[in-house]
Structure 1
Amino acid sequence: QNLGYYIRGGRNKQVVVLIDGIPVSDPSSYNNDFDLRQLSIDQIEKIEVLKGATSTLYGTGATTGVINIILKKASNKGFAGSFNTHIGTNASQEHLNTNINEISSTLNLNGSVHKFDYLVSLNALQSKGLSAAEGVDKNISLREDPYVRYNSLIKLGYSPTKKLRIGVFGSYDEFTSHYDGYDYISGTYVDADNVLKSIQKRVGVTPKFTYEKGELTINGFYTQVDRNISPTSDIYKGEALGFDVFNNYKFTNSLQMLTGIASQYQDMYQKTAYSSIEEGSAKQHFYDPYVSLNYFSKGLNVNVGTRINIHSEYGSHFVYNINPSYNIYFTDTTVLKLLASYSTAYITPTLQEIFNKLPSIGELKPEKDKNIEAGFDLTLTDKLNFNAVYFYREEADKIGYDYTTYQSINDEGTFIAKGYEVSLQYKPINSLVFSANYSFIDREESLLLKIPKHKANMNVLYKINDRTNVSFNGKFVDATKDYGNLNLPSYRIVDAFFNRKVMNDRVTLFASVTNIFNEDFQEIAGFSTRGRNYRLGLQVNF
């Protein structure tokens, strides 16, 4: 199953996913979301998560959050590289074993020569040993559903001057996933020989020009996703072509302005046993000029912005935001930041929704959100940080499905989501870091499917010495429901991780034990989940 990213009670279509600042999605999918299974974690440098409604900067879909996945970059050395590999188990909670059922390897080559820089990354992963469906009798193992993924990435850069860099990239990501079926009579998932093969191709250019007062950036991209399902021979193809041109101008050290224009064209093709969509039958394009003004000072900080979405389906839509904050300095290292935000956001109809709209509907309107936030961030020296945020969101014109006409419609009424988030980081000594967070979401039960009201995470990192670290992660997920009013009980998971650098830090050894106490839980009703599993690996830098 595609991973769900539920931020502040929202779902995948309410989150924008970026790779190196460029939006990624599958226009042929019903939610126009991005399948995170396409990515290799070994090609990722870090992940940034920005919560809240940010459509002013990031456009459609940025109603609950933005996930920016930053890939690894080229080294300043003439030639550098790394090889990473691991092996591990892949067992369910009911059928523990120590068989090696997962293996992954990644090769990264990168460097800089004169005015050129380059990065080439290859990854392969194979996983088996687990059945997608759990089955009615937990004591009987169903057939394994293997998963295989291949990733290739190339990034090239040319800097003719210190002020100009021209970058290009290309990636090819492919996975094959076996999965089980659903018995509508018994209401359970059963063994089946279904296979999904998904191929994602991405290319783009990323020139950047720096001048005395600012920086001009151009991001141009093309994405194609092909999905084939057997034995039904279903075919899906999604294409996205777009650009984002923006200029960040610095008036003074306290005042900056970002101006830009983003555009995207989407098209799809679909052929199944029940329906077909020819290329050009369901398509959309839009142009979004936007501006954001930032004022900085030691005390007051203000960000205001606006965006106009000019869309081929419904015309234009206007969004804006205002985000003030104020810093109170008790000492140079003890600071209280008070923050607030009011913003509007939107989600354009997906291609599936546009194609399936009622004939009587001239146009599907975008989903509209209003978002209010208020909170604080308290820093006490370099030892302690504590923050809390309350949020309130109104969702209107949600695009739904009319089961009497089998068509897409704009739902009437307003849907509300509200809650709060708190987080803490405490560093009593240099070698020990404790962090924890908790979130609560309150909204209608019918909108909380698979979304728990309460979630909590905890992490303890202990640095044994300069070369050795050990950490423990704990997670609590509250009870929730799945489709069919099926209960998903609450659960607690504890993981442990260890890594050590050897051979003058050229080799890193790592190991992990996940779900240490072999907790029995389900994230999706009827699907298997992993029990206690082990992983061993190493990374060699050269």
Structure 2
Amino acid sequence: MPAQPDIRLPRFSRNALTCAIALTLSAAATLAQAQDAPEMERMVITATQTKHSELSAPASVSVINRSELEALVINDLASAVRYLQGVNISEGTPYGRNEISLRGLDSDYTLILINGRRVNSREALTSNYGNDFDLSSIPMSAIERIELVRGPMSSLYGSEALGGVVNVILRQPTENWQTSVGVQYDTPTSGKGGDSTKYNFYGSGALIKDKLLANLIVDSNKRDAWRSDLKPTIDALEDRDEISALANLQWLIDTQQDLQFDISYANDERESDWNNYGTILTNNQQAERISSGLTHNGRWDWGDTRLRYYYENVEVTDDSALIAQIGHITQTNHNLDGQTTVLLGEHMLTGGAEYRWTKLENSRNILGDGTLDDSQAALYLQDEFSLGELSLTLGGRVDHHDVYGTEFSPRLYLVYPLNSEWVIKGGGGKAFKAPNMSQSQADYIIPACRGACSVAGNGDLQPETSVNYELSTQYQAADFGGSVTYFHNDVENKIITETWDRTPGAVLTYQNVNEAKITGWELQAWYDLTDSLSLSGNYSKTDAKDKQNGTPFTLTPEDSYNLKLQWQALEGLSTFIAYHYTGEQYLRTKVKSDGYGSLDIGVNYQINPMFRVKLGVTNLTDAERDQIATDLDYIQKSRSVYAGVTASF
């Protein structure tokens, strides 16, 4: 990513963004790392494609850095962000597939990016089985930080960003050679199976001094299927065997330009036995992904530029007992985009263009020759400027799709500093989500009703649109701080399927029917009790329902909260105790489940500059979900013990 201009930041005291920000409700992190000077200022780019602090960013943004990720037991992107406010890790299936939902909207409305590039295999596996293959395709060891923007961002990123954006920023190649290897082990203390072993390797350095840099990251994870004592005949967590690798070459052309080439590979195999109305069925699925990209970054006297092409190919083998025929599905994505950021007087202008082409091959579910393709193009422009102390961000994006037509997504956001530590900010805009191929193509037919019916696409569908706004106040002092945010989102043309019909051979379709209203509050606070003891917490309240009949959204908790106490016991030795609570939610339209929680503890110890270890227990009290959730095969993982060690050279 090109270095972006740092605008408006001098209006806020940089001293106010202290080490306590590093403790603000990411997941459990080590206090020792948070005290490092570089962590005192957390800069983000996802909200505007230009640099801002968390305090001054014109959006609701949370950041998780690499040291925080290393302190936890994390297997995919969902587990990395689960403790942030406004986030719900919805269980896409009863056998443990997790998907990231933001502010009451399900995972289809969350846009996943890697270095600002879309990650998308959802067309290749569209079913009620759940699709979290995108989340597991990213090597956790490759992540420098994660930026999560809550709220619609279609003005910059187009479709799918209606709920929010999760942008994974990868580690860049380094001039000096660095190497690390690590292993992590996690095992439940009850039930059968569930052991998980993860290995990782990281290497980075200069192939040609001051000219050609490279890195290589490899992660592997093997988890045995886990069966709870509550339901010993089915898998509460599926068997997973995955490996992912990423390599990056960076050519430093001169002081103003660099050229980067990256290539990644991921292979993810799953197997599970699950309950289909009393019959035990087996799912076998495999996703193999190859992606590559070429990026030119320019840092000129007049501004910054970026031009890039990236390619993604995903091959899915889908073998489910519900369907007699094994599915061999291929999704190919081509993306070309360019962006320019320039300062004109008091106005920071960011503009760009994007073109995407997707091809889907699926002879099992697509009639005719088994092939579909679509293309879309977009233009966007954003202006950041100030009127006295008031900072304004005004932007808009025009998307044109060869099927659904043209959509315009405007956005306005204001930030006003009451003083160097306290801001009031808010804004609003319009966002959209285009129908995917399975929804918009009549020739695309997928199984539903647990195999008793099927759903065909509808060529007359319109994009889902939303009008949204939020208002927030944030305070950051040297040893305490917090924020309060209210959000409101009205969604129109919401796409739903017709009511399930288990009549053998019934064919349903999609409809633009619902209008939805989603409102909520997000609160967070932290306080350094002493130089070595810190307390933090957050709370999210969400009211998401159909505007026509008042029916609440399913798999959307009414509230959630996190509490965490951290103690820097000794130099290099930190401990934490954290509690995560997920509130009441409807698992089916009229089936409501009680809330549930998990108490976690952990220790992180930097033995010396070379070795680091971590130990901990998740779900310490062995808490369980209620009988309603258990009967529907939603089972919380039992108490588990984990340990990890990393050696750096």
Please, what TM-score do these two structures have when normalized by structure 1? 0.89
Match status 1:370 vs 2:475: no
Aligned match of 1:7 = 102
What SS is found at the alignment partner of 1:397? Answer: strand
Whole-angstrom distance in 1 between the partners of 2:362 and 2:562: 41
Query: Residues 360 and 423 from structure 1, CA distance in 2 versus in 1: closer, same or farther, beyond 3 angstroms?
Result: closer
1:235 to 328, 339, 349: 328
- AA at the equivalent of 1:102: S
1:395 to 491, 498, 514: 491
1:213 to 302, 306, 309: 302
Aligned match of 2:597 = 492
Alignment of 1:349-368 (within 5 A): 349-356=435-442, 363-368=460-465
Whole-angstrom distance in 1 between the partners of 2:613 and 2:528: 25
Aligned match of 1:529 = 636
Whole-angstrom distance in 2 between the partners of 1:360 and 1:43: 38
Conserved? CA contact 2:111–2:166, under 8 Å = yes
What SS is found at the alignment partner of 2:99? Answer: coil
Q: CA deviation at 1:34?
A: 6.0
Aligned match of 1:117 = 213
Match status 1:35 vs 2:134: yes
Q: CA deviation at 1:447?
A: 4.5
Aligned match of 1:322 = 412
Match status 1:69 vs 2:168: yes
Alignment of 1:32-431 (within 5 A): 35-77=134-176, 79-91=177-189, 95=191, 101-112=195-206, 113-114=208-209, 115-131=211-227, 138=230, 140=232, 142=234, 145-184=238-277, 186=278, 191-230=280-319, 232=324, 233-252=326-345, 254-272=346-364, 275-277=365-367, 281-296=371-386, 299-329=389-419, 332=420, 335-356=421-442, 363-379=460-476, 381-402=477-498, 406=507, 408-431=509-532
Whole-angstrom distance in 2 between the partners of 1:68 and 1:287: 21
Aligned residues: 520
Q: CA deviation at 1:105?
A: 0.8
Bigger helix share:
2
Pairwise CA RMSD? 2.6
Q: Which range moved further: 279-288 or 208-217? A: 279-288
Conserved? CA contact 1:393–1:416, under 8 Å = yes
Deviation readout 1:280-320 (Å, 9 max, x if unpaired) = 74322111100000114772110000111111012211110
Query: Residues 139 and 393 from structure 1, CA distance in 2 versus in 1: closer, same or farther, beyond 3 angstroms?
Result: closer
Please, which runs of 5 or more residues in structure 2 have no aligned partner? 1-95, 444-454
Query: Residues 541 and 279 from structure 1, CA distance in 2 versus in 1: closer, same or farther, beyond 3 angstroms?
Result: farther
Conserved? CA contact 2:442–2:459, under 8 Å = no
Whole-angstrom distance in 1 between the partners of 2:310 and 2:413: 30
Deviation readout 1:378-420 (Å, 9 max, x if unpaired) = 23x3111111111111111122223588454442352111111
Aligned match of 1:438 = 539
1:512 to 616, 622, 644: 616
Identity of aligned residues (%): 17
Q: CA deviation at 1:486?
A: 3.9
What SS is found at the alignment partner of 1:89? Answer: strand
Whole-angstrom distance in 2 between the partners of 1:51 and 1:178: 33
Deviation readout 1:329-352 (Å, 9 max, x if unpaired) = 1xx5xx321112111001111011
Conserved? CA contact 2:438–2:456, under 8 Å = no
Please, what TM-score do these two structures have when normalized by structure 2? 0.75
Whole-angstrom distance in 1 between the partners of 2:194 and 2:583: 32
Query: Residues 520 and 28 from structure 1, CA distance in 2 versus in 1: closer, same or farther, beyond 3 angstroms?
Result: same
Deviation readout 1:350-372 (Å, 9 max, x if unpaired) = 01112238999764321111101
Whole-angstrom distance in 2 between the partners of 1:508 and 1:145: 30
Q: CA deviation at 1:478?
A: 0.8
- AA at the equivalent of 1:217: R
- AA at the equivalent of 2:359: D
Query: Residues 145 and 13 from structure 1, CA distance in 2 versus in 1: closer, same or farther, beyond 3 angstroms?
Result: closer
Deviation readout 1:213-261 (Å, 9 max, x if unpaired) = 3110123211122211236412222221112211111224x42000001
Whole-angstrom distance in 2 between the partners of 1:100 and 1:360: 38
Q: Which range moved further: 229-238 or 164-173? A: 229-238
Query: Residues 385 and 322 from structure 1, CA distance in 2 versus in 1: closer, same or farther, beyond 3 angstroms?
Result: same
What SS is found at the alignment partner of 2:286? Answer: strand
- AA at the equivalent of 2:103: R
Conserved? CA contact 2:381–2:397, under 8 Å = yes
What SS is found at the alignment partner of 2:108? Answer: helix
Whole-angstrom distance in 2 between the partners of 1:88 and 1:337: 42
Deviation readout 1:170-221 (Å, 9 max, x if unpaired) = 111111111123333x4xxx54332111112111112101101311012321
